[in-house]
Amino acid sequence: MVSVNIGLVHYVLDHIYGTLLHRTKLGTPFFSKGWGGTKLDLLESMVKQLFPEAQCQNWPPPAVHPMWKTIWETQNSCLREGVFRTTCHEQLIDALPPESHNARVAFLTPKCVTPEKMACVVHLAGTGDHTFERRLRLGGPLLKHNIATMVLESPYYGQRRPSMQRGSKLQCVSDLLLLGKATIDEARSLLYWLQNEAGYGKMGICGLSMGGVHAAMVGSLHPTPIATLPFLAPHSAVVPFCEGIYKYATAWDALREDATAWKALREDAEAITRNVTSIAEDTAQKTGITIEQVRDRLRSVLSLTDVTRFPVPKNPQAVIFVGATDDGYIPRHSVMELQKAWPGSEVRWVTGGHVSSFFLHNDAFRKAIVDALDRL
């Protein structure tokens, strides 16, 4: 009889899935239009404002006033969808594509319990999660625990996706930071609305993969204790894009060409200010940019998403990380970096890989949500 290492099978499945999706080059890669120019400069400066030295700024967040419509209701529950203008800073709204200016949420609630006796968890999107459906399926069974589910559609996804973007493949590096910053701002405003307008007694924030990184940031920055639940999440976007499978889906040549052109423009401007007599002669002396330099630059930019640089949440006992034992996208050490940075938090492990865990371990994710809320 042949013995099969199930963990290895899950790990290999992640890589097969990644190969079919990313290495075949059949689709558009990430960042095919480069870095994002001045948008990236703006985003780098604004994302830095999220870090600990500025953690008390920008609270309370801008208010949201969703326009609701009922999608369906039963005797015991109700699903509504709401729309509101993104709560980003005006500079960021100008940088976002027009399709992303209005945020959309789905709100699944029990009907027979008042909000102050309930909890509500805001669910953030992972990479490629363009609809409400998967997260509503995760949250639906929580109704029996008197836990409502609010699902936020991310910028660049679903109905907020730019017309020129193919699938989930963001066109510029700046788009990734814009998506994250806007998601964080909108989630913080929704949590404020849930507490101060809707009157919920307990609140939480959760997400899978990329959504888990954003959930960790939101939970870290919230001024009062909330349940924080990053599932299958790395400690930084550096991990999937510079070390993991997404590095095969990144347009490194396009990033190098864009970086070279951007560098040349800056050097030309500097040459003019120095009154150089021959810009052409100065340009001839310019050296090219290597792929390795491009990787270092991307690593530096994405280090802004390093959750270990964020403050410890107000109640770290209500933070539960869930990692997969054989994750081909997110290595174990990355999950442990999160727990190490937030003493008192808990890490739970599910058996499987990144992709399989999305489908096989919803019960484990739900139990983590219930347990974290019970600790508030």
Report percent pLDDT > 90 for the chain: 68
Q: Which residues contact 299 (CB under 8 A, 6 or more apart)?
A: 238, 242
* C-alpha of 116 from chain center: 29
Contact predicate 14/327, CB 8 Å: yes
pLDDT on residue 135: 97
The answer to which of 7-21, 24-38, 172-186, 309-323 has the lowest mean pLDDT is 7-21
Q: How confident is the model at residue 9 (pLDDT cuts 50, 70, 90)?
A: low
Q: Give the count of beta carbons closer than 10 Å to the beta carbon of residue 116.
A: 10
Q: Is the peptide bond before 60 cis (omega within 30 degrees of 0)?
A: yes
Q: Which is more confident, 167 or 85?
A: 85
pLDDT on residue 41: 83
The answer to which of 4-8, 172-176, 193-197, 307-311 has the lowest mean pLDDT is 4-8
pLDDT on residue 156: 97
pLDDT reading at 18 higher than 70? no
Strand-strand pairing, 147-152 and 119-124: parallel
pLDDT average, residue stretch 259-280: 57
Q: Which is more confident, 279 or 226?
A: 226
Q: What is the pLDDT of residues 144-156, one digit of tens each?
A: 999 999 999 999 9
Q: Which residues contact 77 (CB under 8 A, 6 or more apart)?
A: 108, 109, 110, 111, 143
Q: How confident is the model at residue 1 (pLDDT cuts 50, 70, 90)?
A: very low
Q: What is the pLDDT of residues 46-68, one digit of tens each?
A: 776 655 545 555 688 998 999 99
The C-alpha atoms of residue 148 and residue 195 are separated, in whole angstroms, by 13
pLDDT on residue 272: 52
- Identify the structural domains of the chain with CATH numbers, from first to last: 24-246+293-374 (3.40.50.1820)
pLDDT on residue 278: 47
pLDDT on residue 274: 52
Q: How confident is the model at residue 279 (pLDDT cuts 50, 70, 90)?
A: very low
pLDDT on residue 277: 45
pLDDT on residue 15: 47
Report CA Rg, the chain: 22
The C-alpha atoms of residue 79 and residue 72 are separated, in whole angstroms, by 6
pLDDT reading at 295 higher than 90? yes
Q: Give the count of beta carbons closer than 10 Å to the beta carbon of residue 57.
A: 9
User: Chain-wide mean pLDDT for the chain?
Assistant: 87
Q: What is the pLDDT of residues 334-357, one digit of tens each?
A: 999 999 999 999 999 999 888 888
pLDDT on residue 269: 46
The answer to which of 51-55, 128-132, 326-330 has the lowest mean pLDDT is 51-55
Q: Give the count of beta carbons closer than 10 Å to the beta carbon of residue 364.
A: 17
Query: Where would I find the beta strands (DSSP E) of 30-163?
Result: 67-73, 77-85, 102-110, 119-124, 147-152
Q: How confident is the model at residue 296 (pLDDT cuts 50, 70, 90)?
A: very high
pLDDT reading at 218 higher than 50? yes
The C-alpha atoms of residue 137 and residue 358 are separated, in whole angstroms, by 12
Tell me the β-bridge partners of 120.
148, 203
**What is the pTM assigned to this prediction?**
0.89
List the structure tokens of 211. Answer: 């959504």
Nearest Cα to Cα of residue 311 among 56, 123, 88 = 56
Nearest Cα to Cα of residue 97 among 42, 28, 170 = 170
Tell me the β-bridge partners of 231.
208, 322
The answer to which of 38-52, 140-154, 309-323 has the lowest mean pLDDT is 38-52
pLDDT average, residue stretch 155-174: 94
